[in-house]
Amino acid sequence: MEPHVKLFAGSASQELGRKIAASFGKPLGELTLQRFADSELGPSFDESVRGCEVFLIQSTFPPSEHLMELMLMVDACKRASAHKVNIVMPYMGYARQDRKDKPRVSIGAKVVANIIQSVGTDRLMTCDLHAGQIQGFFDIPVDHLDGATVTAPYIKSLNLANLIFASPDVGGVVRTRAFAKKFGAEIVVCDKMRLRANEIASMQVIGDVKGMDVVFVDDMVDTAGTICKAADLVMERGANSVRAVITHPLLSGPAHARIRASQLTELITTDTIPQREENDKIRVISMAPLFAAAIRNVVTHESISSLFG
């Protein structure tokens, strides 16, 4: 007999959790989060999970507190005799720290992988990791969903006459090329030099964008400095229009103001992270149907990759 499936959402992903549950065809399970005066967290499940296959939905943004909340949720499930505990982490915090790029730094993504496994997680489902090889940090199954599955159809619906895709930096070329391949389109690259994190010293465009409808492709936007500078630059180089398509809208600090002031026609993103501010230039496409389908295929032991088309 197949174990009973239950879905729960942490405090960072309540809205997305409800959408995933609705698309899956089950209500979200009942969960209480106790918060002590000093901000210590204490999650507890208000219904039995004994013998169940549990899916815990939580993006770790902001990363530290919501990661800890999620780990406590996993521990509570294991101690309550759940059959399997699966994490659905649409956005994985600390994924940008995926290698030693200078001496005496941590590899944050590996630390997070160790923590996730140490509490007894059976499976991780996530989307558009900053670097695909982060999957190798895990010794449990990792289902790595492709955000382009939901954003590419919208780009196609725009019927842009002279479509070309652009990477906002050299490191994103592989991601941009994979997206452009869906359209049989060419790519250009913006090469940037940083003084320090979130601060760009200079940028140049490699490739011709004159008369083209440019679509930048990236996994996330944080302060929006890079994407807005790149958008303005390609317009200076004669582009007809410029958009950006991303998966994870961190949108910290001055991001919204920069997007409004930029020459971006629109920023197309998903709901892996909930929007904290209204912005007419931002179009949000839900990942819920894709996550629900992936959860269903995990439960029925069917292919995940078949969902990406």
**Residues belonging to the active site:** 192
227: left (phi over 0), alpha (psi -120 to 50) or beta: alpha
d(CA 145, CA 157): 22
| Residue 36 in tokens | 């002590």
| Residue 26 in tokens | 């089950």
Q: What is the DSSP string of 177-196?
A: HHHHHTTT--EEEEEEEEEE
Instruction: Give CA separation, 69 vs 49, 66, 79, 84, 242, in Å.
Output: 18, 5, 15, 18, 39
Contact 285, 268 (CB under 8 A): yes
Amino acid present at 41: L
Amino acid present at 122: D
d(CA 16, CA 213): 31
Who's near 118: CB < 8 A, 6+ residues apart?
A: none
Who's near 104: CB < 8 A, 6+ residues apart?
A: none
Q: Among 103, 112, 84, which Cα is nearest to 298's?
A: 84
d(CA 71, CA 87): 9
